[in-house]
Structure 1
Amino acid sequence: MDLMKLMRSLEEFVFEAIALLFFYPRTLLRIIFKPLQAMEYAEQEEASDKTDAYDDAVSPPLLLLITLLLTSGVGVALHVAQASDAAPLAKELLNSPQNLLLFRSLLFSLIPLTAAVLLLRKRRQAASRTALRQPFFAQCYLTSPFALVVSLGLIATQMPGRGLAMAGAIACAMAFAWMVGVQAAWFRAKLGIGRLAALGMGLGLLVRACAWVLVAVALVAIF
């Protein structure tokens, strides 16, 4: 009986792993070209009680985690140089792919968390796990392609050759512009505010999230 359970678990794992090869790029492309629809889809899936939620897509946190795992793999494969004079804690993170992946996941998760908290504040809603869940999951979708382009762009800036560095910088700039634009459209739809106010919120969100990221990185660099 235990052997049968093990075999079924293995079958399920293999199926899910193979299914990701199809649903990962499909979900990512849906977010890139129809971001607001993808975010609305995530909120609807979280609001429903379906047992087969995200049946035709990858769940938002998993999508973000896989994206960061892939970009980390690219960095390792390309032998991106790490700082040799880093602080002990930074070396502990940089020398361990698992620790680095976890740290990067926490950093990029600050964007959906900041956006979800900001939305609740503007709506004058009390912050709770239940209230945060829908906007957080929706924002995880939006953060995934942003994290992909920014991570690959930063890797390109560390590679030899001015052409790659320039391409990486342009990619990062385009990712930030796309992110601000979609965030503005999302806040406008959720709060019913004007375009200029929504644009200010979208830009302010990224500034706040980047500030928190810089604080976290600075603490790691010091200790």
Structure 2
Amino acid sequence: MDFMNLLRSAELLLYEVVSWLVFYPLTLWRCIRRPTDMIAYAEQELTRPPEVQFADALSPPIFLFLTLVIAHMLQSGVFHNAAVFQGVLSDQRNLLILRAVAFSLFPLLLGIQHVRLAGLVLSRQTLRPMFYAQCYVTVPFVLVLDLSIMLASAPLPGSGPGALALFVIGLGWYAVALARGFMIHRNVSQLRAIGQTALAILLGAICFTATIALSLLSGPVSVGG
């Protein structure tokens, strides 16, 4: 009986992992094309029974984590410029966890803003749908940011200006998506939406930088070439 349960668990796990090959690009395309629709989608899905949630897309936290795993694999396997830490972060699993926490600060701060603008009391129940929704919007920006960093460190002609242009495009897309999300889903004015967007990006950048800086306390870092 235990062996059969193990086989069923392996069957479900294998199907789930393989299905990511289909639903990851589909989810990414939907997030890039209609980010505000994905905000509504995430919030609505969490009102449904757990077994039928996100049936036609990846769960937002899994989507964000898979993006970081893909970026990490590209950085170390293709560009060969992965950072090598000493101490706790010398383990690549710990480094991935750190990256996941650092990048999750953006949807977390945005989720708190949406809870406040919706006039709700901040709690684990009210924050979760807002956090999930903002994960969808944040993933394309995270992917562009990682690609910009890789391109900037690549020994290619014009890689620096190309990386800067890619980052500016990604940041512009992110800012527009966030502002539209505030206007459509929280019913705020355009001016206030721009202010909330600027505040979110600024606070997210500060918290992200602080998290990375604190991680460097675990030991020196070098970049593999």
Q: Could you state the TM-score of these two structures normalised by the residue count of structure 1?
A: 0.91
**Range that drifts further, 51-60 or 118-127:** 118-127
String of CA shifts for 1:147-180, please: whole Å, max 9, x gaps: 1111111111111124222222211111111111
Looking at structure 2, the residues matched to 110 and 99 of structure 1 have their Cα atoms a distance apart, in angstroms, of 17
Identity of aligned residues (%): 31
Match of 1:69 in 2: 69
Structure 2 unaligned runs (5+)? Answer: 219-225
Matches within 5 A, 1:22-171: 22-77=22-77, 78-80=79-81, 82=83, 91-92=86-87, 95-171=90-166
Structure with more relative contact order (C-alpha pairs < 8 Å, separation 6 or more): 2
Q: Which residue number corresponds to residue 190 of structure 2?
A: 195
The unaligned stretches of length 5 or more in structure 1 are 84-89
Give the letter aligned to residue 194 of structure 1. Answer: S
Contact 1:82-1:94 within 8 A present in 2 as well: no
Does the 8 A contact of 2:61 with 2:132 survive in 1?
Answer: yes
Deviation at 1:19, TM superposition (A): 0.8
- The one-character-per-residue Cα deviations of 1:132-159 (angstroms, maximum 9, x if unpaired) are 0111000011111111111111111111
Alpha-carbon distance between aligned partners in 2 of 1:33 and 1:23, rounded to the nearest angstrom:
15
Shift in Å, 1:16: 1.1
Distance in 1 (CA, whole Å) between partners of 2:3 and 2:211 is 46
Q: Cα distance 1:184–1:154, how it changes in 2: closer, same or farther (>3 A)? A: same
Task: Quote the offset at 1:74 in angstroms.
Answer: 0.7
- In the alignment, which of 204, 207, 215 is matched to residue 199 of structure 2? 204
Indicate if the aligned counterparts of 2:115 and 2:121 stay in contact, CA closer than 8 A: yes
Specify whether residues 222 and 19 from structure 1 end up closer, same or farther in structure 2 by C-alpha distance, changes over 3 A only: closer
3-state secondary structure, aligned to 2:51: coil
RMSD: 1.7
Aligned length: 217
Shift of 1:38: 1.2
The 1-side partners of 2:87 and 2:167 are apart by: 27
When normalised by structure 2's length, the TM-score is: 0.90
Distance 1:124 1:165 in 2: 44
Tell me how far apart the structure 1 counterparts of residues 55 and 83 of structure 2 sit (CA, whole Å).
39
For residues 33 and 197 of structure 2, the distance between their equivalents in structure 1, rounded to whole angstroms, comes to 18
Q: CA deviation at 1:122?
A: 2.9
Note the C-alpha offset of 1:26. 0.4
- 1:82, distance to aligned residue in structure 2 (A): 3.2
Q: Deviations over 1:98-124 (max 9, x none)?
A: 111111101110001100111222344
Task: Kindly state the Cα deviation for residue 7 of structure 1 after the two structures are TM-superposed.
Answer: 1.5
